[in-house]
Structure 1
């Protein structure tokens, strides 16, 4: 075992995020410090958003913003606030050349032409649950730009297949706040300790069970599912599996990551290409799932092999325990 692998495994649970990043930086093939700083910038913005979520009811910033985003979805006040917080943190950090965000129709050029990275982000996933105090999250993907540093950002820098991600993660804002990420060397989770203002390593080298007894799908749309999807859901019921659907992608995924299960958002009559976005939802969670021993497909092919055609491209999504996804994809 190499030095980098040894340091990654030996790090004790209870270490803070900064120490973990420093200890593991050399395991990353582009280890020059920029990626480490970028992850810190995301973690910091997550603290700010966590604070605003926790005080949202008292501050009167819950509810609808009064406009729709590029998806045609009604924006919540905290959608807008989270998008601003992450964009501002990444711009000031200086390590990101451009951002793809769920909340913006076009690429956000941060005017950092020498920066080496591109971020795809859903600043606040599940925001329709804010008003009822249900867990929500942030999802992010990190890509290394293809065009030379110092030149304008090109379309090829932004529209990369998920297999080219150099890191991915999510922040879950729930009963506790967690920062979970991977750089392709396993998945690690950090729980936020507000009295210290630190993310503490709480879930080291996370592994998704190969099988599970939970299926997560919006059964309200059952009648519009393909027959194959209906057949798989009936199989789950026949086996006595539990139906668990929160309606916040990060929360449903996180539960299945820890306990085993499958999350399904198939094509429907209303959304023939699926509803979830490839670039800033599916690719990130697919990378985390695979690093934890799970799988992610669109029902036919591996999610991370799909070549994107547009910033806000939608795909059907099957993600979770390996054996369950394999069976569902048949």
Structure 2
């Protein structure tokens, strides 16, 4: 062996040790990245879940061939690893934390809010479906639902997500606009008596009005919604499996209506997914993350996808969904809907799948 060969032979183990140290360092840094938080949430395609097994209508009949499916988005706090992943993956997005949770809101508050919104969406879906099927539905306005409280403002110290404000200074607040009108007559520094319900128990508190951030008005610092009692003539059970938010409203409405109208197979044998909030008048509203939901529906084999046509231009949910469908080259038909009647009319116009 020459002197040069011997020298090279002796140096190889040191090079391997250097590579091993580099690999170990990279592994350590990669591991640490899972524990380094960021100020973002990461969203990704979730799943498409059949509603038939989740929803049961008293005396109703379920389709034996086709199905309605709600679609979900996977969301979680982004550590450094997920932050990097979202910058290189085509189907992951970052959202600033303040757009997901309010300042001062903890994870328990967020879950409570999302579940409260889902519960409200379920009740509205029941009302719309029963009315669509020709049944009488009784809707009673109950008050102002607290969907969040703003950090540093009076309500934060007293009210919780899910509370229902029923009056201000003794004047009934049956809906959000009543609360806003009552406070509009006041000035900063005025005290008001707030009567509210929490878990069915009535309570009262005195709060001092303050100027609201980025507003010329005064208030107590709540994110309001309308709380109503809805009475339907048949029992409906919905096992939402911990899913939160309002975006399943349209699809739950269609499933309930389909079970009620036993004379028609509304699905015609197709696998139908979609998304959109639902209002008492049947209007379908905009939702977030529709690109992820299109991918989830396609992964589940959906053939039709209903998307809210919330605006008449390229910014609508429908146009977003259509763009995603084209990008992933799906054969799934994306259908725009402005109200639940649009979805029903479209399905009634379809030929049965196996005809």
Q: Report the TM-score, using the length of structure 2 for normalisation.
A: 0.26
In our comparison, the structure showing a higher alpha carbon Rg is 2
Choose between structure 1 and 2 for higher RCO, CA contacts under 8 A separated by at least 6 residues: 2
- Decide which structure has greater strand share: 2
